[in-house]
Structure 1
């Protein structure tokens, strides 16, 4: 949500409050006995406005806070992305390293999602993969069709191809899809440069770790629940209605204070 949309949402909520205030001004016409009706209308309009106009802004607050923290901090952050098999890892690594603020790019692991297999077959696969590719330093196999491996040097895409071919030939196990998890070490105040590049390539950020992200998690934890925000908007609507009902008394009270201060 951009700044213009946020401002528009707040303006629409204020317009609803003005409407409730106007209903309160009509009490001389509709009678003081309808004060509870005005309060009810104010609460309901406030709740509706809070749900449709304030909650979208409220949901965007952590993102605004993240931008604020990132602009002020040069702390190291680690960005994780999942790359599909058809992305050239060497080219991706070279391009990302040339982005301002990026310190390093590392391949964390490769993941293959395959057909299911038995536990016995899984043990054979786990023992056999390091022999298929000597660059594999770690391998974990789940019979539900998940194979995770780490490589030291070499090309992880080539490793995926070798494992996939080997699984088909030896076990008739087919690979449904594969990803390569990459970590990118950068600075918080330069992370927007990385976001722009990834967005241009259609690559989504899987997660971020670092001091700024920890601050955002703490900020999220301190935010009140959405239900409390909606109820608070309802009470604000009630106050707007009451302000319309008692505007004459309020103005007289303020005038009295002003006269006393002017003496």
Structure 2
């Protein structure tokens, strides 16, 4: 496409002088279209290319933070990911239990009682409509949800319909793509990722042009190429004269 733009610039001398603006407008349009449809997909791959070095480092690790539904079989998930190459660790860190909107009395009651339900609740906090419980080491979300659910049914006569499980998966950076695909096959997407690979991707993304900016830059390149074509007849002879004068000076 740039060859075509250059050619348009070259034939400008056969057009009326006032048509130069039309030539530049067409060059900008062609450059912008080429950038948007042909170069943009390649440009979007830059973060992945930039992170390839970090993926090749043997000791790099990535930490994936997972927010799972209580319907997910975390024991099966643990078995599946632990069998994969590059697995480091999988820990269930906490659970979040959505509740109704508490009034002040109910809020104070749960603040006082939750810690007495199970000694394996490492820490907890109660918001206006949710109870967040941090789990002790080697204590699973299944066990924590069961004790809370049993207590809730005993006191309120109802069962819990939903809860959220928070887990942390640590993997070798070189196998990050494999784990992301395996999780996606189960309908799970990490809420956030931390590590050298993700840091490189984030830093690269923050320094990249937006789609509109990239398209405008490509349009500008088209204009520059067209200008080179337009003034090629004067630039080339001037360059040759410059080289000839330099050779003459050297002989002297």
Separation in structure 1 between the aligned mates of residue 206 and residue 48 of structure 2, nearest angstrom: 14
SS at match of 1:93: helix
154, 158, 169: which one aligns with 1:184: 169
User: Unpaired segments of 5 or more residues in structure 2?
Assistant: none
Task: Tell me the residue number matched to 1:78.
Answer: 63
SS at match of 1:103: strand
Contact (CA 8 Å) 2:62, 2:173: kept in 1 or not? yes
| Structure 1 residue 128 displacement after superposition | 2.0
Does residue 98 (structure 1) correspond to residue 58 (structure 2)? The answer is no
Task: Tell me the residue number matched to 1:222.
Answer: 207
| Structure 1 residue 106 displacement after superposition | 0.8
Contact (CA 8 Å) 1:114, 1:174: kept in 2 or not? no
Task: Tell me the residue number matched to 2:134.
Answer: 150
Does residue 47 (structure 1) correspond to residue 29 (structure 2)? The answer is no
User: Unpaired segments of 5 or more residues in structure 1?
Assistant: 1-14
SS at match of 1:160: helix
| Structure 1 residue 238 displacement after superposition | 0.1
Separation in structure 2 between the aligned mates of residue 174 and residue 28 of structure 1, nearest angstrom: 83
Distance 1:72 1:243, change over 3 A: farther
Task: Tell me the residue number matched to 1:30.
Answer: 15
| Structure 1 residue 236 displacement after superposition | 0.2
Separation in structure 1 between the aligned mates of residue 29 and residue 161 of structure 2, nearest angstrom: 51
Q: How many residues were matched structurally?
A: 247
Task: Tell me the residue number matched to 1:160.
Answer: 145
Distance 1:73 1:58, change over 3 A: farther
Separation in structure 2 between the aligned mates of residue 210 and residue 119 of structure 1, nearest angstrom: 41
**Larger of the two Rg values belongs to structure:** 2
Separation in structure 1 between the aligned mates of residue 20 and residue 130 of structure 2, nearest angstrom: 64
Deviation by residue 1:63-115 (Cα, 9 ceiling, x = unmatched): 33223421245312212222221222222212222221212111121122333
Does residue 116 (structure 1) correspond to residue 92 (structure 2)? The answer is no
